[in-house]
Structure 1
Amino acid sequence: MLVNKKAVSTLIIIILLLCSAVFGALISYLWVMANYYMEPENTVDLVITEVNFPVNHADYFYVTVMNPTHSVSETNITEIYFTATGDNTTHKVDNTDPELPIPLERGETKAIKCSANWGNFAGETITVHISSANASGTSYSVRTDFVKLDAKAYFNATESCKYFNVTITNHPSSKINLTIEKIYFNYLWEIPKDNMSIAELPMPLANGTSINVQCLYDWESYKNPAVRVKTQEGYFVDAVSNASATVLLTITDVEFSETNSTALRVTLLNSQESDTLVGVTNITLTDDNNTQYTIKEFDSPYVIDVNESATFDCVWNWTEYRNRDITITAYTQQGFKSVQKTVETPSPVVLEIASLEFDLLNTKSFLVTVQNMPCSIQDANITKFILSYNDNFTEINGTAVTPNLPHSLAKNTTQPFNCTFDWMAYEGLSVNITVYTPEGFNATYTYTLPKVLLNVDFDSNKSTKYFIITIQNNAYSTINVTGICLNSTWWIDTNLTYPTLPVSVDDGKSISIICPFEWQPLIGNEVIITVTIENGFDITTTIVVP
């Protein structure tokens, strides 16, 4: 019997192919369904069947979850969160559609929209985790598309505190082009808000390109500000700058001219606490009617460095504006403004004690010269003088003053007054002399009264053949020492002293004079030392010879 071997071989091959196909299908089925059928009975086992991170929407993603038919019961999805490669933080999803908890019947599959920003992990593997009330958790990992947004913020307080610049870059390898939608200032530290309106936004940003944006925002007093750049696609980036716009510009003094009632002088200090120099552009004055005047304007900004001050002559007519408040403010090129200073303008009468004369030749009186300054707009009625030391006050009687008080002193005139008063007890002390008017237009002068100090040194360890006197001249004029006497009896030979007498001692200077004299017989006795001065007064001290 003849057998067709070729036909048999073909049939065998066909049968083998059919068997392989059936076996492969069986193996695939078992591989896929093993997760379901190998689960323990009486359990609920959720399965994530799909996760989608849309590259054009980094502010949400989709997850599809199935409750298999072999689950023992329905369940509620109670928690969704995600993790990313290289990041140890668990990112919880709080907002979902439908809202958590999400019921899931046996055999039911649901697609859930999760509103959570994942853009900072674009290009990384993200794992989504789901938990339910009575089921084991499940997870699903996806490699996301690469998108990277970069930003650098530039704050320069020396240039301006009214704006800053941001450079924004879309990485060359980013999957998509981006659209810049918002720029926020200090988003990290403050309640998020759209706090900058930039006309150019929204602004396209193709991958591999950069743009520079100037943001108009007053960032004075901020330290290390943060900027957030956000795109329409949901990506964002934060840029923290090591910068500060703290400037403490103060007005330390406002001085009104005593000779010109249209002039005043303002002193500014840029504190050592400031972060930058300032360029002063103008100084203003606001009166008590809230009217503002520019009293100083600079052709180019006047630079005041940190911890430096500057004084400026300003012009404003305050002739008829007396005893009223004004407020001074300085402005800078960078947008900083000084701390305001409110001062009162001068009185209608401005008095000044131009000079005081206390003469050691005449300690029974002194001379006060009073000037009614050119800036005054009224005559002054001088009614009394008072000399004060610590808490002691002595009024000079009007009849003890020449010319007698009260005395009318016309504006822009000067008058010397001779006051009869024995001031010897105040020699060398700092006293206040005050001139008074009924309206309170007073003036005070602090003055240290003249005195010549005398010190005597008897030192037996050196010699009993001489003693030394030291004279300190605080008489406000040069004195000439002409003689030295003990007990009004023994006069020292002026040719034998060292230096020889007479000798001059300038104001504020001192001199020591060696006086030859055998003083041993005087030991234990009290002696009076008298030094005579050429212009007529003596200096006396009493000492017990040791």
Structure 2
Amino acid sequence: MSLRINKMIFATILVAAFIIGAFSSYLWVAGYYASLELNLPEKPVISVHSFLTSAGDSSFFNITILNPSLSPEEIKILGIYVLTEDGISHKITLTNPSIPGSGYAIKVGESKVFTCFWNWINYTGQRISIAVLAENGSGGTLSAILPLIEARVTDFLLDPERGSMFNITVMNSENSVAKIKLTSLSVIADSSVYSVATQPQLPLVLEPNGSISLTCLWNWTEYQGKTITIAVITEQKYAAEITEFIPQYVVFNIEEIKFSLDDPSHFNLTVLNSEYSVIPLNMTKISIRLENGTLVSPLSVDPSIPHMLDRNSTITFMCRWDWSAYRDKELTVTVYTEQGYKTETTYKTPA
């Protein structure tokens, strides 16, 4: 009986202790928050967090903007900017939801995910800073690192015997976080851009640490002694480039054209394959372009073509073509070779 009474007294004391302890904790917490309330911000201060993007689609990224529950009022978002490592500030002009000119309102305690449409592929693997501007409060910033996608063009190869093509290798780096899809290839030469077909044909997909050799069907012979840039474009709009110098493999010229006043049924054409050329040339075609752009060919050529012309050699062709109706006119004569080289000259016929 005495033991039972003692247990009841002990339980009563224990419950009382819990109540007193809980009340004391409440007073301490209430006092803490009361002290915080004295330092609440006078204007909204937003939080920017949860950066998200896709390595397979560089056209956008997502961020979350929070107007904390301790803010005194709603806040209006005026714009979003991206600062890249090159010091350039990029204004995001398209978002979802869109940000009107008057600002996008976020209520107290509310957070909103914004999809920002900005292609970051030229800054792959770099750190960016995202700044959110607010009308009636302090804006927010967020630092993030973009996914690394790294493609390279290597092993540029020319064959003097094949002037209508060249070879390259395209690699997707082992450090890339995603596969890439090659969609087009261009050559930039003398400020002109040429779209180039390849074998195998594009598009082609490369996994990380993958590579492929491409034969590019483009005649480079007119750019001997010059520099060209080859650009491979991916579906993500990433451009992998290589700049290369094209050596002077062949010096091929028309040395002389002779028209006889006594016999307008033909003209003579002298062609040179220079001592500086590295290969003999197989001449396969001679054409004549009239002033109006019309192309004609000689009825016959003597000696006949195709005709091989060695290095450091000249040859004179007699081209049978009646030019009597084209006196005192400019004609452009072009000689073509099997290897892709050509030479041409413009000459005015006798009156």
Instruction: Using structure 2 for the length normalisation, give the TM-score.
Output: 0.68
Q: What is residue 268 of structure 2 aligned with on the other side?
A: 264
Q: What is residue 88 of structure 2 aligned with on the other side?
A: 90
Which of residues 151, 157, 164 is equivalent to 2:166? 164
Measure, in 2, the Cα distance between the counterparts of 1:287 and 1:188: 25
* Residues 1:264 and 1:144: Cα distance change in structure 2 (over 3 Å): closer
- How many pairs does the alignment contain? 315
Q: What SS class does the counterpart of residue 174 from structure 1 fall into?
A: coil
Which of residues 328, 333, 344 is equivalent to 1:328? 333
Measure, in 2, the Cα distance between the counterparts of 1:155 and 1:266: 33
Name the aligned partner's letter for residue 264 of structure 1. Answer: N
Measure, in 2, the Cα distance between the counterparts of 1:188 and 1:62: 41
Q: Counterparts in 2 of 1:153-192, with a 5 A limit?
A: 154=156, 156=158, 158-186=160-188
Which of residues 328, 342, 345 is equivalent to 1:340? 345
Measure, in 2, the Cα distance between the counterparts of 1:121 and 1:340: 48
* Residues 1:278 and 1:60: Cα distance change in structure 2 (over 3 Å): farther
* Residues 1:238 and 1:336: Cα distance change in structure 2 (over 3 Å): same
Q: What SS class does the counterpart of residue 133 from structure 2 fall into?
A: strand
Name the aligned partner's letter for residue 205 of structure 1. Answer: L
Q: What is residue 121 of structure 2 aligned with on the other side?
A: 119
Which of residues 293, 297, 303 is equivalent to 2:305? 297
* Residues 1:67 and 1:184: Cα distance change in structure 2 (over 3 Å): farther
Measure, in 2, the Cα distance between the counterparts of 1:44 and 1:125: 27
Measure, in 2, the Cα distance between the counterparts of 1:37 and 1:149: 56
Are residue 45 (structure 1) and residue 41 (structure 2) matched? Answer: no
- Are 1:45 and 1:71, in contact at CA under 8 Å, matched by a contact in 2? no
Q: Give how far 1:81 is off.
A: 0.6
Q: Give how far 1:80 is off.
A: 1.3
Q: Counterparts in 2 of 1:57-68, with a 5 A limit?
A: 57-68=57-68
Measure, in 2, the Cα distance between the counterparts of 1:92 and 1:303: 59
If you compute each CA radius of gyration, which structure gives the higher value, 1 or 2? 1
- Are 1:225 and 1:242, in contact at CA under 8 Å, matched by a contact in 2? yes
Q: Give how far 1:144 is off.
A: 4.5
Q: Counterparts in 2 of 1:34-433, with a 5 A limit?
A: 40-41=41-42, 43-68=43-68, 70-83=71-84, 87-98=85-96, 99-100=98-99, 101=101, 102-107=103-108, 108-152=110-154, 154=156, 156=158, 158-186=160-188, 195-198=195-198, 200-219=201-220, 220-221=222-223, 223-232=226-235, 234=236, 236-244=238-246, 249-255=252-258, 264-268=268-272, 279=281, 281-286=283-288, 290-293=295-298, 295=301, 297-300=305-308, 302=309, 310-317=313-320, 324=327, 327-344=332-349
Measure, in 1, the Cα distance between the counterparts of 2:65 and 2:148: 25
Name the aligned partner's letter for residue 340 of structure 1. Answer: T
Measure, in 1, the Cα distance between the counterparts of 2:128 and 2:77: 23
Name the aligned partner's letter for residue 104 of structure 2. Answer: P
Higher helix proportion (structure 1 or 2) = 2
Measure, in 1, the Cα distance between the counterparts of 2:260 and 2:189: 50
Unmatched segments (≥5 aa) in structure 2: none
The CA RMSD measured in Å over matched residues stands at 4.7
Instruction: Using structure 1 for the length normalisation, give the TM-score.
Output: 0.46
- What do residues 479-530 of structure 1 show as CA deviations (whole Å, max 9, x unaligned)? xxxxxxxxxxxxxxxxxxxxxxxxxxxxxxxxxxxxxxxxxxxxxxxxxxxx
Q: Give how far 1:210 is off.
A: 0.4
Measure, in 1, the Cα distance between the counterparts of 2:315 and 2:151: 50
Measure, in 2, the Cα distance between the counterparts of 1:165 and 1:39: 67
Measure, in 2, the Cα distance between the counterparts of 1:271 and 1:106: 81
- What do residues 241-265 of structure 1 show as CA deviations (whole Å, max 9, x unaligned)? 1224888854231246899987834
- What do residues 109-128 of structure 1 show as CA deviations (whole Å, max 9, x unaligned)? 33222222333554454432
Unmatched segments (≥5 aa) in structure 1: 348-546
Measure, in 2, the Cα distance between the counterparts of 1:137 and 1:330: 69
* Residues 1:109 and 1:333: Cα distance change in structure 2 (over 3 Å): farther
Name the aligned partner's letter for residue 202 of structure 1. Answer: P
- Are 1:52 and 1:62, in contact at CA under 8 Å, matched by a contact in 2? yes
Measure, in 2, the Cα distance between the counterparts of 1:57 and 1:239: 20
Measure, in 1, the Cα distance between the counterparts of 2:216 and 2:243: 14
- Are 1:81 and 1:130, in contact at CA under 8 Å, matched by a contact in 2? no
- Work out which structure has the larger RCO, using CA pairs closer than 8 Å and 6 or more positions apart in sequence: 2
* Residues 1:60 and 1:277: Cα distance change in structure 2 (over 3 Å): farther
Q: Give how far 1:150 is off.
A: 2.0
Q: Give how far 1:292 is off.
A: 0.8
- Are 1:77 and 1:104, in contact at CA under 8 Å, matched by a contact in 2? no
Q: What SS class does the counterpart of residue 212 from structure 1 fall into?
A: strand
Measure, in 2, the Cα distance between the counterparts of 1:57 and 1:37: 47
